[in-house]
Amino acid sequence: MTRTPLTKKAKPGKTPRGNIFRNFVYWLQDNFRAESIYFYRLAGLTGFLVVFGLVMVLSSSSIDSLVANRDAYYIFSRQVLYAVIGLGAMLFIASLPMSFIRKQVRVVLVVIFALQFAVPFIGISVNGNTNWISIAGFTLQPSEFLKLALIMYMGWFISNREFEISNPQRVLYPLLAVGGVAIGLVMFGRDLGTAVIFGFIIFGTLAMAGAPGKILGRIGLIGIALAALATASSTSRMARITAWLNPGSASSEAFNWQFEHGTWALAAGGVFGAGLGNSKMKWSWIPEVENDFIFAVIGEELGLIGALVVIGLFALLIASLIRVMLRSESTFAKISTLGIVVWILSQSAVNVAVVLGILPVLGVPLPLISAGGSSLIATLAGIGLVLAFEKDNHRQSLKRAQR
């Protein structure tokens, strides 16, 4: 008498459906089961901000998405896909040994530079900026990934010459040359906002890494002069600056439309907000509301308290990144984490400042929250890099404890 097997065997070449999830759980346990509190804190804050961002993207984009695509969930569903890809990339990078990551830095930089170099030739224009590549119906913004590649290269380069940081010919000038090429490629696509963030990343990281302050300051002044020249050479940029400086003039209405309606949204929110999903300004009153001006919807729906909580969460995220940086013994990890701190801090500060009218409209997304796949995936990849550093920190501390 033959016995009937309790479970059916999978056919060769096929994986049972239930095993995919089970194997993923096993992989998570094997790689992240016994990490430090700093690892879990950073990963938890990141995950919370991503989920919060998805909720706000759904709320802010539903009307425009319905009008443009006859599907209120179109933008949201794509953002969910980007979040899944980004979180997967974060976990994958976090599982890699730091020695392996370090070996791949130059390869990553060359590949991303090649993509950015191709943008002027095969890129597509969005709102006057040519900074995207279309692939299978999805748009990719190489400049977002170039931020991370440049940060990693700066960490790698300085770690190789850490005792020569005061020698500008050996460290400062070569890194400024690479950074200048990156900014030039971005500006070739007329994306001033992204170029500004590159400037913050390069000069902020080098300054805090210990590069000669006087020389860096002089080059910084030259950079500001070039940025002013680039602004003056563009009629639309000058119009935006003039409108920002003279918000009450009749000619400023078209250029201040986003800022004015963003201010109305914040004012309507008051202290406690109008309630999640109850924004009035998202009804096609603010262009790109789910992207650059999502903070205005946060203020309108969740009020001053909600806006301050979001700012507080970013402060905790920055503090967690700094804590990992201080725990790191590797110069590569320290400088790379420092660059990611400068990146997230400067970009979030610029986004909020634009919504509040402190700065003119620059088209910079709010990290982890604004709609947009390239920004979300690149930022999560950067945090995954820091998580990999913290894994290495924890391993090193365990080895010291066992001696």
Whether this prediction's pTM lies above 0.85 is answered by yes
Q: What are the residues whose beta carbons fall under 8 Å from the beta carbon of 120, sequence distance 6 or more? A: 130, 185, 188, 189
Digitized pLDDT (tens) for each residue of the chain, 403 residues in all: 444 444 444 455 555 556 877 777 777 776 777 688 999 999 999 999 999 999 999 999 999 888 888 888 999 999 999 999 999 999 999 999 999 999 999 999 999 999 999 888 887 877 667 788 887 777 889 999 999 999 999 999 999 998 898 899 999 999 999 999 999 999 887 788 899 999 999 999 999 999 998 889 898 898 888 888 877 777 777 877 877 777 766 556 666 778 888 889 999 999 999 999 999 988 988 888 999 999 999 999 999 999 999 999 999 999 999 999 999 999 999 999 999 999 999 999 999 999 998 888 888 999 999 999 999 999 999 999 999 999 999 888 888 887 7
What is the identity of the amino acid at 308?
L
Altogether, the residues listed in the chain come to a count of 403
Which pLDDT does position 17 carry in this prediction?
55
Torsion of CA 9, 14, 18, 21, to 10 degrees: 140
Choose among 185, 203, 179: nearest CA to 129: 185
In DSSP terms, 99 is beta-bridged to none
Q: DSSP string covering 184-203, please?
A: HHHHHTT-HHHHHHHHHHHH
Element (H, E) at 133: strand 129-135
H/E run at residue 124:
strand 124-126
3-state secondary structure of 252: helix
Q: Is 159 exposed, middle or buried (0-12, 13-18, 19+ CB in 10 A)?
A: middle
Tokens of 181: 């090429």
pLDDT digits (tens, 9 = 90+) for 14-37: 555 568 777 777 777 767 776 889
Cβ count within 10 A of residue 218: 11
pLDDT at 396: 86
Q: Which of 402, 365, 392 is closest to 79 using CA atoms? A: 365
